[in-house]
A and B are shown apart, each in its own frame.
Chain A
Amino acid sequence: MPTPILQVKDLHTEFLTDGGVVKAVDGVSFDLYPGESIGIVGESGSGKSITALSILRLVPDPGRVVSGQVLFHDQDLLQLGGEEIREIRGRDIAMIFQDPQSSLNPVLRTGFQIDEAMLAHNKANRKQARQRTVELLRRVRIPAPETRVKDFPHQLSGGMRQRAMIAMGLANAPSILIADEPTTALDVTVQAQILELLADLNRDLGTAIVMITHNMGVVAGLCSRVLVMYAGEIVEQGPVEQIFEHPQHPYTWSLLRSIPRVDALRHERLRSIEGLAPDLLHPPAGCRFHPRCPFRVEKCFTDEPRLQEVAPDQLAACWVTMERARKEMGADDLIDIRPGAGSGLRKGELTE
């Protein structure tokens, strides 16, 4: 077993709002190994983006990381001084965002901004930096990079801007690239190209990737491991194939079944998850998913489940798990799920 390059241990990030304390990230732990590509999936408010921002201490006001550790090469990023964390950002750990428009300065030429990113951490001179910038732009497959370096951000298309952002992220050959919904704002054909690019970088340069996304398909294509977040907590984690084929947490299970598939063979009713994501000001007692869970039992209302091994390398935080739900509650027969213990419409019950 290699040593992890990044270890997040029991991370807690809170937001102090008018209504009280919102625990946006509530005890998240995971390891990232060199050259690995992990996905953090979840819906809005699940805490996936805040987890990513917490790692680089970029949590916006009024949020703050209240406890936990983020170990990078045995130093706790949460304990570093302002100057030291700035050194890490962009040099060792780079981050790219959903909206490249807002991350690029509109009045500076794109190439100049990438040069600057390099010069901020490097002793290279401007000429060497420009050479590398052109190389990087070629690497992220921007056509005619020699002329494109002189373009202003608004002269690039959305996909090109995201490529330029990735090039900037790679400027100092970081060992980790954190990508926060980098393709959400892009068209599918452009998204596919960006994902392929990220996969290539991961393979060729050995850059470890943390992919934050709500899109299960994106994770399926790019990542080897996946963490599923719900209401500030990791509810399930494990190898991608394992999670997609044998999800053990009812949330993962129902989420995967609620997505219409373009390769579906026949028209089936989508299994929607009823109810709403919990209000993090007043999270439900017990398991946070219990108000929406189709397989809950008594214990779920009061006791909070911890992550535990449910299969080799696969952890889930659930008192029931899908194995039991299948055996005892006939989970596979459910067409339309409802909160309760095995509630919902079953096959043959839907009149059409």
Chain B
Amino acid sequence: MATSVSFPVPGPGPAPVVGTAGLSAPVQASLWSDAWRRLRRNRMALISAVYLVILVAVALVALVHTPYSYREVGVARPYSGPSWANWLGADILGRDVLSRLMVGAQISLIVGVGTQVFVVAVGVPIGLLAGYYKGTVDSVVSFIINVFYGIPDLLVAMILLLLLGPSLNNIIIAIVATRWMDMTRLVRGQTLALREREFIEAARSSGAKPAKILFGHILPNSLGPIIVQATFGVPAAILFEAFLSFLGIGVQPPTPSWGSMAADGLAAIRIAPHMVIAPSIALSLTLMAFNFLGDGLRDALDPRQKR
């Protein structure tokens, strides 16, 4: 490398390896930590996350301690408003509204998160297979999806609950039956788009088996949209459960659900408005928090913001 030229050189002469020029980003960052950084800057998403953490904490505390038993009748005068003894007042049977609200949070979270776990468990594999193998598999899956979309949600849920009986598990099953198609369709679309990408071709040409392509390449690259979809699915499921309980075919008494509490309160809205207001506010805040968090996640995980 040493040449015959003698020239006052301050700079490094030979470059040992080609193309080792420094990288622009000084720290290594995965796309996930990048997303986390973006999410932290989103104030509404952050407030929502804090609210949801508190809600989960309340639901956990309610497992071991509530101010009163949620089912104990007559701890206060029926219809009595908020007081020092009963912060959120009492209901028609004189049960403590706060205690019932806390237990209701458990129900809402179990239903919301539980349905999404099953929706992911059902929708993701079916979507992956339909999108990857196309052809007959896809036609069959698409047909079933369209059939499910064709029947009204409420009808599906009511028929299932009538057949299976109204228990918490069956409510989750009923909601999953009306919601799995969204996730399946999303994952199918993602898979259809991703399988044409060059890195999937590259994986095939380097000898990857179909399972590796599906779960090693396509699934990790679809996780962002899946997480966002599941996050938006939680409030939808909570609302649906509240609605079912409001109609009386959901969670059965004496177990409180925010929906059934609101239904009870509606009958007495003139004399005891707190009975409607308390569960409604809890429900609205929770729905809003999940939606804001979903929005934040979508913005944070959106690959379009990245080159």
Contact = CB atoms under 8 A, between A and B. Distances in A.
Asked if A and B form a direct contact in the complex, defined as CB atoms under 8 angstroms apart, the reply is yes
Interface of A: 272, 274-276, 279, 281-282, 290-291, 296-298, 301, 328-330, 338-346
Contacts of B5: 328-330, 341-342
B18 A274 contact: yes
Contacts of B18: 272, 274
A274 B9 CA distance: 18
Given A274-B15, A346-B3, A340 B21 contact: no
Contacts of A343: 1, 3, 13-15
Nearest to B4: A330
Contacts of B10: 297-298, 301
Contacts of B19: 274-276
Given A330-B3, A346-B3, A340 B8 contact: no
Interface of B: 1, 3-5, 7-15, 18-19, 21, 24
A290 B10 CA distance: 12
A296 B7 CA distance: 10
A39 B124 CA distance: 53
B8 A298 contact: yes
A203 B3 CA distance: 49
9 contacts: A274-B19, A275-B19, A281-B24, A297-B10, A301-B10, A328-B5, A330-B4, A330-B5, A343-B15
B7 A301 contact: no
A340 B24 contact: no
Contacts, number: 62
B9 A341 contact: yes
Contacts of B4: 330
A338 B14 CA distance: 7
A15 to B, nearest CB: 14
Main secondary structure of the interface of B (DSSP, over half): loop
Which of B3, B10, B12, B19 has most chain A Cβ within 10 Å? Answer: B3
Given A279-B24, A291-B21, A297 B8 contact: yes
B21 A276 contact: yes
A269 to B, nearest CB: 13
A339 B17 CA distance: 12
Contact of A329 (B1, B7, B21): B7
Closest 5 CB pairs of A and B: A340-B13, A341-B9, A279-B24, A275-B21, A342-B5
Contacts of A342: 3, 5, 7
B39 to A, nearest CB: 14
Nearest to A337: B15
Contacts of A298: 8, 10-11
Given A275-B15, A338-B14, A341-B7, 5 more contacts: A272-B18, A297-B7, A297-B9, A330-B4, A340-B9
Nearest to A299: B10
A20 to B, nearest CB: 12
A342 to B, nearest CB: 5
B21 A328 contact: no
A281 B4 CA distance: 37
Given A276-B21, A291-B21, A296 B11 contact: yes
B168 to A, nearest CB: 46
Contacts of B1: 338, 343, 345
A297 B8 CA distance: 7
Contacts of A346: 3
Contacts of B14: 338, 340, 343
Contacts of B21: 274-276, 291
